[in-house]
Chain A
């Protein structure tokens, strides 16, 4: 298969794959009973009344982890092309990438020092 056909296939596969979850959901709409009730449709929180709004602010900590994730995921994005053409780079390439990884590792060490990685 040529490259273009492969991407065509992925497009067709997307449409076909949508059938897999949609078919049972639609089927269940006809087969399954539908008797909603005021009590039944309550949010399930172990039988307790839900207190206040659920959609509240998150802890700051999640954002710090998200930032760390972006840093290292983008690093991985840079590492993949380097790894692909690594043979041409040789020792110079390895030295360059070691510096690159080292800078990011310094960031990780700093985050560790500042107790950002702690999950309390």
Chain B
């Protein structure tokens, strides 16, 4: 008598997309490090990695092997469990981001009806991991980096989520596939509210994945390595992996939501999506190569005082545009964010008397 094996078949059928994602995403991330090093080298007038393999293409593998053979240090007095779990807790959600992103009309691992919300929810778990890393290390610089990071990620998550809310507003759906299908005729980036949303998601997204100019949590000139100061070897590599996976997912998200996903002439859909993704990633690398880092007070105030009102006004402008339509709607959807932006930046940059208390005088350099 044969046992019923249909459940096994189902599991295997579910495992296949999981294995594809888990195999492709880390490889993509490895070559992203190569791309980033090459591009930044070019920006700085260097050649970049060119010793291991042609054009240094095997460099990521060499790095992986090197990381694998490095000693894994756990500082004395550290919270061992926190210290051990943090790199795992940061990589797993970063991998989850790719499950809801559609590559083609039917090529999506998990076609959730709440895909966009799932992405946002999973994406914010990384903050916990970063804090666990900083806290578990029992290092003052790591803890400083972790608290900064928690504050920064919290501050930028709000405008990010609010700028994403224009998408369900316009499409009436949170499913990523349906969102792309809604852009058949016109990519969202070519609408006034879409352009604002796209700019917002680029800025806040860079902050969410801790990239320059928002990489204060790991500002090496101030607080060594930030939250991963006390990590070495493979665990350190995992933090980098999560950062690059996040960049990749952000690029894909922005192209899916605003740049029309797989839509495009001549070339097949997935190729178009990858082209758009890598243009955004190239932009992120370009920013890293040319832009100085923000100051921590500017960073926080920029999020709360400029980006948050901008995202809210964009949402209301988009809602008006959806109801009214035509040129009036477009003008309102353009004028509202611009006027709010001008107002808030003026108020934000207005010179103000600095309070001078003893505490600030003694601590103004440290935080």
Contacts and interface: CB of A to CB of B under 8 A. Distances in A.
Interface of A: 1, 3, 5-6, 8-10, 12-14, 16-22, 24-25, 27-29, 31-36, 38, 40-46, 50, 54-55, 58-59, 62, 65-66, 68-69, 72-73, 76, 79-80, 83-87, 90-91, 94, 97-98, 101, 105, 108, 111-112, 117-120
A84 B174 contact: yes
B161 interface: yes
Contacts of A108: 304, 308-309
Interface stretch (B41-49, B143-151, B198-206): B143-151
16 contacts: A16-B15, A17-B95, A17-B96, A20-B26, A20-B95, A21-B92, A21-B238, A28-B69, A42-B76, A43-B77, A43-B139, A55-B143, A80-B165, A80-B174, A97-B319, A112-B305
Given A1-B111, A40-B73, A65-B300, A84 B168 contact: yes
Q: DSSP class of A's interface residues: helix, strand, loop or mixed? A: helix
A21 B88 contact: yes
Given A1-B110, A24-B238, A108-B308, 10 more contacts: A5-B10, A8-B14, A9-B109, A21-B92, A27-B68, A65-B155, A65-B300, A72-B158, A79-B315, A97-B319
A83 to B, nearest CB: 4
Given A18-B92, A21-B92, A32-B71, A69 B233 contact: no
A31 B155 contact: no
Contacts of A20: 22, 26, 91-92, 95
A66 B154 contact: yes
A18 B323 contact: no
Interface of B: 10-11, 14-15, 17-19, 21-22, 26, 67-77, 87-88, 91-92, 95-96, 99, 109-113, 117, 135, 137-141, 143, 147, 150-151, 154-155, 157-158, 161-162, 165-169, 172-174, 224, 229-230, 233-235, 237-238, 241, 296-297, 299-301, 304-305, 308-309, 312, 315-316, 319-320, 322-323, 347, 354-355, 360, 364, 367
A12 B68 contact: no
B139 A73 contact: no
Nearest to B140: A54
B14 A12 contact: yes
B75 A43 contact: yes
A80 B305 contact: no
Q: DSSP class of B's interface residues: helix, strand, loop or mixed? A: helix
Contacts of A50: 139-140
B68 A117 contact: no
A83 B165 contact: yes
A24 B17 CA distance: 22
Contact of B138 (A34, A54, A65): A54
Give the one of A8, A10, A36, A101 with max B CB within 10 A: A10
B297 A119 contact: yes
Given A84-B174, A108-B309, A45 B154 contact: no
User: Which 3 residue pairs across A and B have the least CB separation, nearest first?
Assistant: A83-B169, A119-B297, A69-B154
Given A98-B316, A117-B304, A9 B18 contact: yes
Contacts of A72: 158, 162, 308
B192 to A, nearest CB: 17
A48 B38 CA distance: 36
